[in-house]
Structure 1
């Protein structure tokens, strides 16, 4: 059974693709990753970063 940490939140196809290609296919993989590093990925903008941060916070985690 998968949990919310085993998938990415709904952030749009370009952002999802960029994160997966960068080696972050799950929400769990994003815990501790610097926000600035993710912002450099094509398709990952402020809105996607905010959604990711909120999703991580629901699990007691955060971006780096």
Structure 2
């Protein structure tokens, strides 16, 4: 019987290969790695476009997280 894990090792949403590579190169493999970053910092990663950024923002929101600049301004 398969066990469910509460915190997957890679909980990022499905994004395209270029975006996935850009995130990995920046050391971002989980939402916990992503949350301390600013949206501007992540948007500046080569290979990460507006669609992927929106998916990441939504995934953070679903987990009660946000980019650091969104938390600071709210």
RMSD, aligned CA: 1.7
Aligned counterparts, 1:1-64, within 5 A: 1=5, 3=7, 6-64=10-68
5+ long unaligned stretches in structure 1: none
Indicate the structure (1 or 2) with the bigger Cα radius of gyration: 2
TM-score (norm 1): 0.85
The TM-score normalised by the length of structure 2 is 0.75
Q: Distance in 2 between matches of 1:53 and 1:4?
A: 18
Consecutive unaligned residues of structure 2, counting only runs of 5 or more, are 69-74
> What is the Cα deviation at residue 44 of structure 1?
0.7
